[in-house]
Amino acid sequence: MNWQKLAGIMCVLGVTCAQAAEIVVNRLQMPAWVVHANGVRQALAPNMSLKVGDTLQTGQGARVELALSEGSIIKLGALATFRVTSLIAPEDNKGVFASALDVIKGAFRFTTGSSQKSVPRAIDIKISSVTAGIRGTDLWGKSDEQKDLVCLLEGKISVAHADQHLDMDKPLQYFVAKRDGTAMPGFETEDEVMNKWAPQTEVSAGHGLASIGGKWRAILAAYKHRPMADSLVRKLDEAGFAASLVQRHQPGGRVFEVALNGLAEEADARYAGQQAREVVPGLTLKVSPK
């Protein structure tokens, strides 16, 4: 029996198992980047793990879906900026998963699945001037030039803004803090939330969706000389497209392929490839399963 199986059995039997506090990129539509705490900026890719101090940025038309290790999902819309301020594992915090997340700009949604609502958690999400304290819920929010807004979809949250504090426990209840200094609670219609707000943070199949386990590739170029391939990878990375380089041997000699990997379906590979060609003119495009 290998050690992974043994560890799983120990967890089932109640033996203490360490649970790391982690945020992983689950799915995304490019372009998107992560700026690490040391200032290094790189294109975002599925299965990438975010660390404390990392800042995530999304480009025009982009979407990002993040998975927290305690079971919740965070979704970000286009032109968003999101920072991981703190992550504390349950074993380091009396069994409670704790984190502080900062939505600096853009739309987001935080959702806890029904099977994970009993997990002890203490998550604070700051939406510019408004902070939402979460213990297991579903909410949507956005920070833009006019306002900071958080809307409860299900569960309970506590909202703080300046000297105001509000406990929210009714679906579609929201709190808005406008740039003119006014702040107030209210209620929104389900039609407004589901048809206008929610689509701003949902990934869309066929529009360049990359995911963990995605099986399609968009091959953009093949070079005989590696420096040319490396240069293209850097250009795409700077533009928010996580490209990879693969060396292949052919009858005429070796070539270095540059491709976008992990695309969910053939249509996603074609869409992402066309996006990349707009960023770097002159590229070819061939899609294939991995």
Secondary structure (3-state) at 164 = strand
Q: Are 127 and 80 in contact (CB under 8 A)?
A: no
| Rounded to 5°, angle at Cα 268 from 266 and 272 | 120
| Rounded to 5°, angle at Cα 4 from 3 and 6 | 60
Structure tokens given for 63: 């979407």
pLDDT at 9: 38
Those residues of the chain that have pLDDT short of 50 are: 1-18
pLDDT at 221: 97
| End-to-end Cα, the chain, rounded Å | 31
| 202, burial (CB in 10 Å: exposed 0-12, middle 13-18, buried 19+) | exposed
The full DSSP string for 116-157 is GTTS-EEEEEEETTEEEEESS-EEEEEE-SSEEEEEEEES-E
φ, ψ of residue 195 to 5 degrees: the values are -100, -20
User: Letter for the amino acid at 256?
Assistant: F
pLDDT at 20: 64
**Measured distance CA(129)–CA(9) in Å, rounded:** 45
pTM, entire model: 0.89
**Measured distance CA(189)–CA(172) in Å, rounded:** 7
Q: Is 114 left (phi over 0), alpha (psi -120 to 50) or beta?
A: alpha
pLDDT at 117: 67
**Measured distance CA(89)–CA(18) in Å, rounded:** 8
pLDDT at 59: 98
Cα dihedral across residues 61, 123, 23, 116: positive or negative = negative
**Measured distance CA(222)–CA(210) in Å, rounded:** 22
pLDDT at 16: 38
